Structure 1
Amino acid sequence: MGILNRSQGTVLSVFRIVVGLLFASHGASSLLGVLGGAMGKGGTVPFGTWPGWYAAVIQLVGGALVMLGLGTRVSAVICSGSMAYAYFVVHQERALAPIQNGGEASAMFCWAFLLIAVFGAGHLSLDALLFKDRGQTTAMPQAENG
């Protein structure tokens, strides 16, 4: 268990980077038409439309901030909330279970960002670099010796 305990901070950082990159990719796809475009149809979400355009901005900006580990906790809370909104307002009216309503990605992103908000950025982040004296970059519990 020693190696697992020692690698917690690194794994948390890699998890944060991957989740942020995937989320930012969704936003870039919807706003910029890259990576398949909005809804995989090559287009973009029209400027200012509710809720799609605002969700895409949160995805692109919030995902990038989380990926970089800058303002991580606040960004992760906003991203988590946007995915909770997406799940309960957009997906849940179709069916109760995520597998039935197409809301698996929204549910997973919501919980992943909540985890990042609670545990922080980890030591491989701009937050850790900029605020290293504060010790507020992660709330990773200390491993027990026993």
Structure 2
Amino acid sequence: MDRVPVLAKWQPEILSLVRIATALIYFEFATAKLFGFPYVEMLASVEPFTLFWYAAIIELIGSPLLLVGLFTGPVALILSGEMAFAYFLIHGPQDFFPIRNGGIEAALFCFIFFYIAAAGPGAWSLDRLIMRRRSH
């Protein structure tokens, strides 16, 4: 058995929940970097027009789009690339293992976004609503 049968029928809805929860959590990184909320000491001193600031802008725009499921594939692919870039630029050079280099979040976000880019937005999304309206 490769899937839990009772959950398999809910796969499109569960995919939407994963997309929504991931977008909400990711949005916190943008607001912490740009607005200091929630306050995280290591993210509180992001200088404007630096690499971290540009990353925060991508996160600030991409997270709400992902949250509502609009342009889901391209947005998720961009966010996945951002996290791969962050991992290999910031975390990877420190140590091979994510648990030791502080890159757990970057690695997980990268692969979650990559999966969403391939799997689509799920049942609850503006992308799906727009597709339905166009087909009618």
TM-score (norm. length: structure 2): 0.90
Question: Runs of 5+ in structure 1 lacking a partner?
Answer: 136-146
Aligned runs of 1:1-146 on 2, under 5 Å?
1-37=4-40, 39=42, 43-49=44-50, 51-132=51-132
| Contact 1:26/1:56, CA 8 A, preserved across alignment | yes
Which residue identity is paired with 1:46?
A: E
1:3 shift after superposition: 2.7
| Backbone CA RMSD of aligned residues | 1.7
| Contact 1:30/1:38, CA 8 A, preserved across alignment | no
1:2 shift after superposition: 4.3
Q: Which has the higher helix share?
A: 2
| Contact 1:38/1:45, CA 8 A, preserved across alignment | no
1:77 shift after superposition: 0.3
Measure, in 2, the Cα distance between the counterparts of 1:47 and 1:125.
33
Equivalenced residue count is 132
Question: Runs of 5+ in structure 2 lacking a partner?
Answer: none
Q: Deviations over 1:79-129 (max 9, x none)?
A: 000000000011011111101110000000000000100000011011111
Q: Flag as ranges the 4+ runs of structure 1 deviating above 6 A.
A: none
Which residue identity is paired with 2:85?
A: Y
SS at match of 2:132: coil
Which residue identity is paired with 2:93?
A: E
* Larger RCO (CA under 8 A, 6+ residues apart): 2
